[in-house]
Amino acid sequence: MANKSPILLPKTKKILSELGENIKLARLRRKFSSEQVAERAGISRSTLISIEKGYEGVSIGYYLSVLHVLGLEKDFLFIAKDDELGRKLQDANLITKERAPKRK
């Protein structure tokens, strides 16, 4: 069975592309070659290039491995940390019934 890439909306693709660009810039700031980072992360150089391009078919675990090599793995914990919409819904104190009403 062939691997399929997820279908993403253009806005989501742009976010993933920006993430890849940020990872590439972090690598370059540290003056690491793509071969060094790929070897330390335990991935191929072509996978690292796919990550830096924001390719959606790359496993999220590989993204995290590269972030670990760059010392940025803790940044991953900030994803969805402050859920504004969730907090607003919680604060609205919406009452939901646990079961449907009994039939008469």
For residue 50, the domain's CATH number is 1.10.260.40
Q: Is residue 102 part of a domain?
A: no
Q: Is residue 3 part of a domain?
A: no
Higher pLDDT among residues 97 and 57, named by residue: 57
Q: Is the pLDDT of residue 10 over 50?
A: yes
Higher pLDDT among residues 22 and 92, named by residue: 22
Instruction: Report the percent of the chain where pLDDT is more than 70.
Output: 92
pLDDT band at 94 (very low <50, low <70, confident <90, very high): low
Higher pLDDT among residues 4 and 39, named by residue: 39
pLDDT band at 1 (very low <50, low <70, confident <90, very high): very low
Q: Is residue 104 part of a domain?
A: no
Q: Is residue 60 part of a domain?
A: yes
Q: Which of 29, 37, 25, 99 is nearest to 68 (CA)?
A: 37
Task: Provide the domain limits for residue 86.
Answer: 10-91
Q: Is residue 69 part of a domain?
A: yes
Across 22-33, average pLDDT? 96
Higher pLDDT among residues 57 and 94, named by residue: 57
